[in-house]
Every structure is written in structure tokens, then in C-alpha cells.
Amino acid sequence: MKKILLVEDDPFLVDIYETKLKESGFVVEVANQGEVALTKIRENKVDLVLLDIVLPRLDGWEILRSIKGDKQLKDLKVIILSNLGQKEEVEKGLELGAAKYLIKAHYTPTEVVEEIKKYLDIKK
């Protein structure tokens, strides 16, 4: 089973996405702060990071830079899931190395799971 680290600080969204991902057969770890996310990434072998940008203290941009700047982590797959939907933010996320940039308002949780499956090449 694929392991996903959900980096999100909104407890309501954590509950929704964690439930949906587990129902779809994923093992899910959750981090609600940037520092916690980086620790979990380094300590646990995860297949994909589902990353929010707006987080307390250490934001998603810093997490993404840390992942992509680390020799051991640079190939880790990261999908940004954020409410920041400006063209500049989307471009910045992709330039920093995110595989995809999903805007929360444009995707239902089910569609987010489908995007993850497509990206990880998981057949239904």
C-alpha cells in the first residue's frame, strides 16, 4: 500500500481527506505543521506528500524547498493542495518541483484522490 503524508492544518479538512484516502486504500500520516511534516518525511518512507501552502510557522513553500534541496528526498513526489489559486502561485509550486498543483476549491476530495491515483499510476 502507498503511504501518503497529508500536510494540512485545518482539522476539518484533515478529517475529510484522511478518511477519503484511507477508504481508497492508502496509508495516511498527518502533519499539521511544517516542522512536523519535515520530521515525518525524514523518519517515515512516504510515497507522496499532499502539501498545503498556508501553514503555521514553516509554510509549504519552505517544506517544498527543503524536500527538493535534500539529496535523499529530492525525488519524493509532492502534490500541492492549496486554496492559493493565483497563476503566480501555481507556477511557483511547479517551478519549485511539485508534480501537480491542485486548488482546493476546484476539486472534491474524491477528485483529489483520483488525481493522486493517476499520478501514482494506481489502477482502480
Taking only the tens place, the pLDDT of each residue in 88-114 is 999 999 999 999 999 999 999 999 999
Q: Where are the domains of the chain?
A: 3-119
CA distance 78 to 86: 19
DSSP code of 106?
A: G
Model pTM? 0.95
Cβ 47 vs Cβ 69: under 8 Å: no
Cell numbers linked to 109: 476530495
3-119: CATH superfamily: Response regulator (3.40.50.2300)
pLDDT at residue number 57: 87
User: For residue 122, what pLDDT band results from cuts at 50, 70 and 90?
Assistant: confident
Taking only the tens place, the pLDDT of each residue in 46-100 is 999 999 999 988 999 999 999 999 999 999 999 999 999 999 999 999 999 999 9
